[in-house]
Amino acid sequence: MTALWGGIVVMTVGCFALKYAGLSVPERVLQHPLTVRAVELIPAGLLGALIAVQVFADGSSVQVDARLLALGVAAVLLALRVPFLPMVVAAAVVAALVRQL
Amino acid sequence: MTTDRSIIVDSLGVGLATGAYGVSFGAISTASGLSVLQTCLISLLVFTGASQFAFVGIIASGGNPLTGALTAILLGSRNLFYGVSMAPKLDLDPAQRLATAHFVIDESTAMGVTRTSRRQARLGFYWTGISIFVLWNLSTAAGAWAGNAIGDPRTYGLDAAVGAAFLGLLWPRLSSVQGRLVALVGAAVALGLVPVTSAGLPIILGGGTAVLLGMLWRPGGRS
């Protein structure tokens, strides 16, 4: 089994276990304020980090290129309440066009 | 008054809008170097959008698949709380729980948890969850096939699409000052670590640091 398949299996089991546990665990077990707060903050922290790496990293170096412009376009479209799919497609098209220039 | 019919119509609307963006997951996943089979299996078996995008994003940037899986699981931790809030409304025995758990995601919870009657909570939850599941998988397959067929993903800006997809997922959380700060700290720490750690780690460490700081920070100066 390759590492990639291994990662897929771990992710599958882990993600399902969380969903199943949520339906099974009594509410008071998870009521600790620290747990609630951590789970509230995790998506923002991780997605912030993911965006930064996705947009600026090229291997182990940091660089600014067409991806940043695409992200800017995505932000403007989101502010204008454009739905997810057209927003993502527009960002890709902008990056593709800039690279053609 | 909310009728059963209007709940089903609303749920299908959400299902259509959300399920369709499986196309971008499929295309991005194959562009990240996963096979069409792997891409389709992930949508089928993992079925939680942000986690799936995170996993393929980390693979694309050369990260270790286990780091990718860990990030995906951390992002999926919110589903734990969705399950807790849906459980009393669904009232399931263990076998039903096993069959239902897969459909616990952002949208199904949002469309179920706000209903006043148990019957309508179930209608909203299942119609939303199952319609997204069906469409998400069909559109993933379409996107994976198309992405696989077009050659170098950079020519089409698919690498830039990943950042846009993450921003779309993050956007609702930027409405609070704390959400914005935590996202910003996560981004800054991750970026600082890119040159000095192996791929994938900046995301876990950046996100982790941001969450820790966010937990220490008390809005309004409460101690």
Domain residue ranges in chain B: 4-173, 176-223
CB atoms A24 and B87 under 8 Å: yes
CA B77 vs CA A18, A46, A98: distances in Å: 6, 12, 37
Q: How do residues A31-49 score in pLDDT, each as one tens digit? A: 888 888 888 899 999 999 9
Contact criterion met (CB < 8 Å) for A54 and B166 = yes
Q: CA dist A57 to A37, B89, B155, B186, B197, Å?
A: 30, 44, 18, 14, 12
**Does residue B8 belong to the interface with chain A, where contact is any CB pair within 8 Å?**
no
Would you call A80 an interface residue with chain B, using a CB distance cutoff of 8 Å? Answer: no
Q: Is 60 exceeded by the pLDDT of residue B222? A: no
Residue pLDDT, tens place only, B88-133: 999 999 999 999 999 999 999 999 988 889 999 999 999 999 999 9
Indicate whether B54 pLDDT > 90: yes
Is ipTM > 0.95 here? Answer: no
Interchain contact A81–B (C-beta under 8 A): no
Q: How many CB pairs under 8 A join A and B?
A: 324
Q: What are phi and psi of B8, to 5 degrees?
A: -65, -40
The whole-number pLDDT of residue A59 equals: 83
Are B157 and A52 within 8 A, CB to CB?
no
CA distance B96 to B82: 17
For residue B123, give the amino acid letter. Answer: L
The contacts found for B4-13 with CB under 8 angstroms, 24 or more apart, are B4/B119, B4/B120, B4/B123, B7/B111, B7/B115, B7/B120, B7/B123, B7/B124, B7/B127, B8/B123, B8/B127, B10/B111, B10/B124, B11/B111, B11/B123, B11/B124, B11/B127, B11/B128, B11/B131, B12/B127, B12/B131
pLDDT tens-digit readout, A45-84 = 999 999 999 999 988 899 999 999 999 999 999 999 999 9
3-state secondary structure chain A: CCHHHHHHHHHHHHHHHHHHHHHHCCHHHHCCHHHHHHHHHHHHHHHHHHHHHHHHEECCEECCCHHHHHHHHHHHHHHCCCCHHHHHHHHHHHHHHHHHC
